[in-house]
Amino acid sequence: MSLLEISGLRGGYVAADEIVKGADLSVAAGEIVALIGPNGAGKSTLLKLVAGLLRPSGGSVRFKERDIAGWAAPDISRAGLSFVPQERNVFGTMSVAENLEMGGYIDGAHAKKRMAELYQHFPMLADKRRAAARTLSGGQRQILAMAVALMNAPDLLLLDEPTAGLSPRAAEELFGTILALNKSGVAILMVEQNALEALSVSARAYVLVQGRPEREGPAAELANDPTVRDLFLGGKAAPMLRPSNEGTGDVI
């Protein structure tokens, strides 16, 4: 049974301009699913429609067997779905600890316990808990952004371009963190321009083109699909993929 089931989803930033045009997509419990596609395909918009930051104009978004389409973002977060945007995903002038406290406001009764768990599993955050978020490196800020989203113990994490602007080494380390999160039981739906690496850590993937999934299937198969290779990999065959269940250790 799917944890998330999207059917016929439509919507955009204004009612007269639908960017997502009838998308169907699913994520199973404990699964990593990649959403790849050319710039302007509607990938980030789709995540915002699911997370409640934009209101769908049509279709359904079933999460844990409830249709959450049109719900307010805080209510969706309380239901167990957290979203990490690409930009402005931490409060730069606030400390690491204060950012985590902000992430835990919905479930304040468990915030202190949750922070202690995250400090244990992300020692870097514990070491820098008093440092302003703006002083962290790009990779460290992304880890903080994901930790903020994890403060509500979500069942599903939506990641929008998590490696954008990172060095290749930082991106590789972040993908390792994503694998570890998944190994601990968090399902992940990830939008990522680094298509080859996204496919290498995912179980399944969708190729979104002009607001609709044009291809879907096991990530390994899509990585070797000639059309996908031409679009993202310059026609080169994909290297051996890392299984999506090989994390670097439990994270939460």
Q: pLDDT for 45-92, tens place per residue?
A: 999 999 999 999 999 999 999 999 999 999 999 999 999 998 888 999
Crossing angle of helices 111-121 and 138-150, in 10° steps, is 140
Flag whether 191 is in a domain: yes
What pLDDT, on the 0 to 100 scale, is given for residue 239?
A: 46
* Residue 240 is assigned to a structural domain of this protein: no
Quote the mean pLDDT of the chain: 88
Residue 220 belongs to domain with CATH number: 3.40.50.300
Q: How many domains are there within the chain?
A: 1
Residue 143 domain-assigned? no
Rounded mean pLDDT of 27-41? 94
pLDDT at 14: 84
Dihedral sign (CA 191, 39, 170, 198): positive
Its pTM surpasses 0.75: yes
Q: Residue 97 and residue 151: Cα distance in Å, rounded?
A: 12
10 domain-assigned:
yes
Q: Is residue 219 part of a domain?
A: yes
C-beta neighbour count of 116 within 10 angstroms: 11
Which residues form the domain of 57? 2-86+154-232
Residue 16 within a domain? yes
Instruction: Decide which of 168 and 247 is more confident.
Output: 168
* pLDDT mean over 5-25: 92
Helix, strand and coil percent figures for the chain, each rounded to 5? 35, 25, 40
